Amino acid sequence: MHMHQHQHHVPNIGPPFGKSIKNMAEVAANPKAMDNEQATSYLNQFIGRNLRIHASDGRVFGGQLKCTDKDRNVILALTHEYRAPSAEMIKKTIEESGNPKAVVTWNSRFVGLVVIPGAHVRKIEFEENLMPGQKSSVTL
């Protein structure tokens, strides 16, 4: 289903027309800057896809992107919250197992629909499940 839906979001990569001089200048000054059309297309391809957002307090939220805006506020659906085990916990596990490479699992729980304010977004990761040989469906 996702694949089908995604067809509508395939970004238009061709050279954008009607760029204003100002916009051109901006792009020249900052190669990463995008005009509205590019930005919209780029972001649209992640709608409904799995993202991992690292929040300012270290937690990671994994869920489907539902919505975003200029302030980089992000709404995720069907989200799980992941929290790194505390240093104490790691220490304890290592001590108990005697193995410095012992696996300490992250704590996770389901939190559902969440909005992560842009101010608290530290890192955004795209999570993609691909078959071997399958090409990515998004332009990164």
Site for another protein in 62-121 (CB under 8 A): 65-72, 75, 81, 83, 86, 88-89, 107, 109-118, 120
CB 83 within 8 A of CB 45: no
- Min dist CB 100 to another protein, Å, is 18
Closer residue to another protein (CB): 85 or 100 = 85
Is-contact 47 8, C-beta < 8 A?
no
Per-residue binder mask for another protein (CB under 8 A), 35-64, x = binder: xx-xxx-xxx-xxx---x--xxx-x-x---
Q: Which two tokens stand for residue 105?
A: 């699992």
Provide the sign of the torsion angle of the four alpha carbons 131, 133, 136, 140, taken in this order. positive
Report the nearest approach of another protein to the CB of residue 104 (Å).
Answer: 12
Shortest distance, position 24 Cβ to another protein, whole Å: 14
- Rounded to whole angstroms, the Cα distance separating 5 from 24 reads 32
- To the nearest whole angstrom, how small is the minimum distance from the Cβ of residue 25 to another protein? 15
133 binds another protein (CB under 8 A): yes
- Which lies closer to another protein via its Cβ, residue 62 or residue 100? 62
* Secondary structure (3-state) at 78: strand
H or E element, residue 89:
helix 87-97
Residues 11-40 that bind another protein (CB under 8 A): 32-36, 38-40
Q: Which is nearer to another protein, 47 or 94 (CB)?
A: 47
Burial of 105 from C-beta contacts in 10 A (0-12 / 13-18 / 19+): exposed
Residue 136 tokens read as: 């990515």
